[in-house]
Copies of this chain bind each other. A is one copy, B any other.
Amino acid sequence: MFEKEITENLSLLLSERKFSEIKEILKEFNEVDIAEILAELKEEDAVKIFRIIPKEPAAEIFASMDSDLQESVISAITDRELHNILNELFVDDTVDLLEEMPANMVNRILKHTDPDTRKSINQLLRYPEDSAGSLMNTEFIDLKKEMTVKGALVHIRRFGDSVEDISTFYVTEKDRVLIGTLSLKDIILASEDTLISDIMDERIVFCHTGDDKEEVAAMFTKYGLLAMPVVDTENRIVGIITVDDAVTVIEEETTEDFEIMAAVTPSEDSYLKTGVFRHFANRIPWLMILMLSAAITGAIIDSFESRLSSLGFLIGFIPMLMNTGGNCGSQTSILIIRCLALGELKGLDVLKAWFKEIRISLLCGVSLALVNFIRIFIMKYYFGGGEFALSLVIDMALTVSISLLITVIFAKTIGCLLPVGAKKLGFDPAIMASPFITTIVDSLSLLIYFNVAQIIFNV
């Protein structure tokens, strides 16, 4: 990769103390790319190079670095340098930083932020982790409805540099009560003496500080927003959320869904950053619970064993039956979980989905049972070497195929209703995915199989 050449080159230039050449090279790169290049260097070199970078891009590069490198940088730089970086950081980035740093660093960082920012930081840290409040930025531009476009532009030019997003402006009344929004595009395209009240949009798409951040992120997708105002209970604007934060939430929540479906306790860190023991701790409780609950299937087999001991040839079909049931159940549950995550199943849609699943399971069940019947017949009769009589093979194939059909119908019903039920009860639907459904479907399929066998073989 090209990165390797660059990092080697930078290390070499650093050892030769050719600082201006390093600056020249880095000028070609975007801040995010520079953070990535620094991450590839030895920590010591990365910190040295970071300190050469001019003040302005430094803060943005710093915000893009991972927390380990941020910690090393903060330990190495002077109070003055720290002050400069913190001055340039947006409040939400500072809050992210504080959440990752050890206590002694937090104190040093807070000491070097100015009192106003410190107040905003404290306010933001107080919102619950999953709330819209925890996502927001307190820096935005508010306009008044009696301003003209010309006046608004003067205001924007004056304060625009200190805010992250100027795609949207917020029109407020007394006490910061939000009464409208407008975009920079609206302002640019209007004539100079137009009143803000004439071009602002009063149909505001907003959220409250306490709203769930996943739902807020979904609103960005739905309405195609670049920024959204966050208001308190009295409709006063307290901050804004930008689309990049919404995208991050969407990706984090998706990763969480994947983790839960994998029966792993969700963690905030990336896979490679997480240590072996942490991985172990995230996984073992689920494996234990599922292993112990799988003991139920063992008990079912044991309880039928004596009655069915003359029918040993039925045992070989158990894994196929359990797997097919499990696959049918997880097909349905995973699709339903995704629908729930995207907000596609509302109210009575659940019943529609269930009815759909029953019809699908009939089609799938009958097809699978038929193919299975034929397969068993061919394998055990034609290629069975005369071990089994024709009537026995037919009974065998019937037992397995009928059990399969019933199992498929049950599996798809459970796969549909369990995630929905979990959501209704306030749990994460993903918890109900594959592993738990597999355990339930396994037990059910065994009970169905053994009972069908008892009827057909009349034992």
The reply to whether the CB of A14 lies closer than 8 angstroms to some CB of chain B is: no
Q: Are B338 and A223 in contact (CB under 8 A)?
A: no
The answer on a CB contact under 8 Å between A297 and B319 is yes
- The binding surface of chain A is classed by DSSP as helix
With A284-B367, A331-B264 known to touch, is A291 a contact of B320 (CB < 8 Å)? Answer: yes
B188–A263 CB distance below 8 A: no
B258 & A223 in contact (Cβ 8 Å cutoff):
no
CB within 8 Å of B: which A294-331 residues: 294-295, 297-299, 301-302, 305, 309, 312-313, 315-320, 322-324, 326-328, 330-331
- Contact in complex: A271, B339 (CB < 8 Å): yes
Q: Does A76 contact B (CB under 8 A)?
A: no
Copies of this chain present: 2
Which of A220, A224, A262, A353 counts the most chain B CB atoms within 10 A?
A262
User: A439 to chain B: which residues have CB within 8 Å?
Assistant: 323
Measured CA separation A316–B346 after assembly (Å): 42
- Please tell me which one of the listed residues B167, B292, B379 contacts residue A226 in the complex, with CB atoms under 8 A apart: B167
Per-residue 0/1 for A369-383: is the Cβ within 8 Å of any B Cβ (1 yes, 0 no)? 001100100010000
Question: Chain A: how many interface residues by the 8 Å CB criterion?
Answer: 111
Query: Complex Cα distance A220/B242, Å?
Result: 13
> CA of A26 to CA of B364 in the docked complex: distance in angstroms?
45
Closest residue of chain B to A205 (Cβ to Cβ) is B30
- Residue from the list B189, B244, B330 in contact with A157, Cβ < 8 A: B189
Complex: A264 Cα to B276 Cα, angstroms: 33
Residue of B nearest to A1 (CB): B347
B317 touches A298 (CB 8 A): yes
| Contact call A185/B160, Cβ cutoff below 8 A | yes
A87 beta carbon closer than 8 Å to chain B: no
Contacting residues, chain B, for A221 (C-beta < 8 A): 244, 247-248, 251
Interchain CB contact (< 8 A) of A298 among B184, B220, B319, B349: B319
- State whether the Cβ of A363 lies closer than 8 Å to any Cβ in chain B: yes
A434 to B277: give the CA distance in the assembly, Å.
24
Q: Does A288 contact B (CB under 8 A)?
A: yes
Q: Is A28 an interface residue (CB 8 A)?
A: yes
Least Cβ–Cβ distance between A359 and chain B, in angstroms: 5
A223 to B248, CA, bound (A): 12
Known: A250-B250, A276-B360, A338-B255. A271 touches B226 (CB 8 A): no
Looking at the complex, which one of B29, B247, B264, B318 makes contact with A318 (CB distance below 8 Å)? Answer: B318
User: CB distance B330 to A32 under 8 Å?
Assistant: no
Q: Does A435 contact B (CB under 8 A)?
A: yes
In the complex the two chains form, is B205's CB within 8 Å of A220's CB? no
Alpha-carbon gap, A384 to B363, bound state (A)? 44
**B residues less than 8 Å from A55 (CB atoms):** none
Complex-state Cα separation, A302 to B322, whole angstroms: 17
How many angstroms between the C-alpha atoms of A315 and B320 in the bound complex?
15
A368, CB-defined interface residue at 8 Å: yes
Complex-state Cα separation, A312 to B450, whole angstroms = 16
Say which residue of B205, B318, B360, B434 sits within 8 Å of A283 (CB atoms): B360
Q: A247-B247, A299-B316, A301-B316 are in contact. Are A262 and B330 (CB under 8 A)?
A: yes
Q: Are B32 and A223 within 8 A (Cβ)?
A: yes
Contact partner of A258 (CB less than 8 A), chosen from B166, B334, B347, is B334
Contact indicator B349/A272 (Cβ below 8 Å) = yes
Q: Give the CA-CA distance A249 to B132 in the complex, in Å.
A: 24
CA A203 to CA B88, docked complex, whole Å: 21
Check B327–A290 contact: CB distance below 8 A: yes
Q: Does A101 contact B (CB under 8 A)?
A: no
A9-55 residues at the B interface, CB under 8 angstroms: 28-30, 32
**Proximity bits, A91-134, B CB within 8 Å = 1, else 0:** 00000000000000000000000000000000000000000000
Q: Mark A149-162, 1 if CB is under 8 A from B, else 0.
A: 00001001100110
Given known contacts A184-B188, A271-B335, A283-B364, what 15 new A-B pairs fall within 8 Å (CB)?
A160-B185, A161-B189, A167-B167, A224-B244, A271-B336, A271-B344, A272-B353, A277-B363, A283-B331, A287-B331, A290-B327, A291-B371, A301-B315, A301-B316, A319-B319
7 A-B pairs with the lowest CB-CB distances in the bound complex, closest first: A262-B334, A297-B319, A298-B316, A294-B320, A224-B244, A301-B316, A280-B363
